[in-house]
A and B are shown apart, each in its own frame.
Chain A
């Protein structure tokens, strides 16, 4: 299976709305050991000026990966997930994600390069609210190891 480099530059249509729930944020915060009360206690979050409990800094990956699935689950893209290694990840928060947010994600395939059989894929998930105001940008780079390694 060969990664199809012609996917580079592709922009997908907006993904289905992701509705952020308080209990989901609690579950995620607990899993990564994020113990700050702003993740779980609405009054603590409001005291800091947030409308409701806020997401830990890496929670946006949950939202982004639903959009990324459009690429990775497309058989024509030729990405064998058993050979994928996560290379790097970056979150830019235009504002904190909070419970009650209804988020829409547009996935961009920024680049696909192949060198000595190793494919490097960089995606960018632009997460916005329903009015289109930017919330977070998630850039993820994956390496796909060649078949015979």
Chain B
């Protein structure tokens, strides 16, 4: 499948998406993931530990960001490696919502392995919330 790799160029944007997150979304993620840390749904607890407000689960942000890569690949099973660094919390207001913007760019190609590394820029209001967000896709 090295043809698929040859068709790509490092630096090319392959996808972008905006994803909104509100308190109801965080509660849904808490239930689905089993992460019931109250800083993700209880403003009183969040502010008592020095956070500005309830913050999104880092793992929610990580999970939501990779959707563009899975859709671009055509098969989520082609995402063979995915890593992020959690650099900034994502406060989620109530009422209202936060919006994360995800931009996916080809970061590196490995013709021999038949893989592409897709680098994600994930930001809220123009400020990056994830660092070194990289997904390796088998093409």
Contacts and interface: CB of A to CB of B under 8 A. Distances in A.
Interface of A: 24, 27-28, 30-36, 38-39, 48, 50, 54, 56-58, 61-62, 65, 81-82, 85-93, 95-96
A34 B68 CA distance: 9
Contacts of A54: 76-77
Nearest to A142: B86
Contacts of A28: 32-33
Contact of A92 (B29, B70, B80, B85): B80
7 contacts: A31-B28, A34-B76, A38-B76, A54-B76, A56-B66, A90-B83, A91-B81
* Size class of the B contact interface (CB-based, 8 Å): 35 or more
Given A38-B77, A61-B59, A93-B79, A32 B86 contact: no
Contacts of A87: 85-86
B94 interface: no
Interface string B128-139: 000010010000
A95 B77 CA distance: 7
Interface in B49-102: 49, 58-60, 62-64, 66-67, 69-71, 74-77, 79-86
A58 B133 CA distance: 13
A27 B33 CA distance: 9
Given A32-B60, A62-B33, A65-B34, A93 B85 contact: no
B18 to A, nearest CB: 11
A73 to B, nearest CB: 13
B85 A34 contact: no
